[in-house]
Amino acid sequence: MSLQTYIYVLRLPERLYDPEQWTEEEKNIVSRHFSYLKKNVDNGVVIHAGRTEQTDETGFGIVIFMARSETDAERFMNQDPAVASEIMTGELSRYRLALLNEKFSVGV
């Protein structure tokens, strides 16, 4: 079976729109979330991950990644520490990558 492209959209619950409301545990979970995504970028699974700058209901993050099936994609999303701990919700969809600029890179 060939790899398929998927995307999941991440959203914060309203109580976390204000960064001042974050607990140390929630900050640690986001750190684990970042490490999970970074490891999977390094492993060639994640194509792109990022977030908008808004810290209200209009803000969101996305993860574009490869998986063998929707079941595997759902498992990957649900293993993301932010989704698993329920400090972010994840909405999964198949994603059709139309164009990719391989020369583009962003330093984090």
What CATH number is attached to the domain comprising 35?
A: 3.30.70.1060
For residue 1, which of 72, 80, 91, 68 has the smallest C-alpha distance? 68
Beta strand 46-51 pairing with 89-94 = unpaired
Host domain of residue 26: 4-94
- Given a contact cutoff of 8 angstroms between Cβ atoms, the answer to whether 80 and 33 are in contact is yes
Q: What is the pLDDT of residue 8?
A: 98
Confidence of residue 76 (pLDDT cuts 50, 70, 90): very high
Q: What is the pLDDT of residues 23-75, one digit of tens each?
A: 999 999 999 999 999 999 999 999 999 999 998 999 999 999 999 999 999 99
- Other C-beta atoms closer than 10 Å to the C-beta of 88 total 23
Q: SS3 of 101, please?
A: coil
Task: Establish if 104 belongs to a structural domain.
Answer: no
Confidence of residue 91 (pLDDT cuts 50, 70, 90): very high
- Given a contact cutoff of 8 angstroms between Cβ atoms, the answer to whether 85 and 79 are in contact is no
pLDDT value at 108 more than 60 = no
Structure tokens at 73: 């994609």
- What percentage of the chain has pLDDT greater than the value 90? 81
The pTM for the full model equals 0.90
State how many domains the chain has: 1
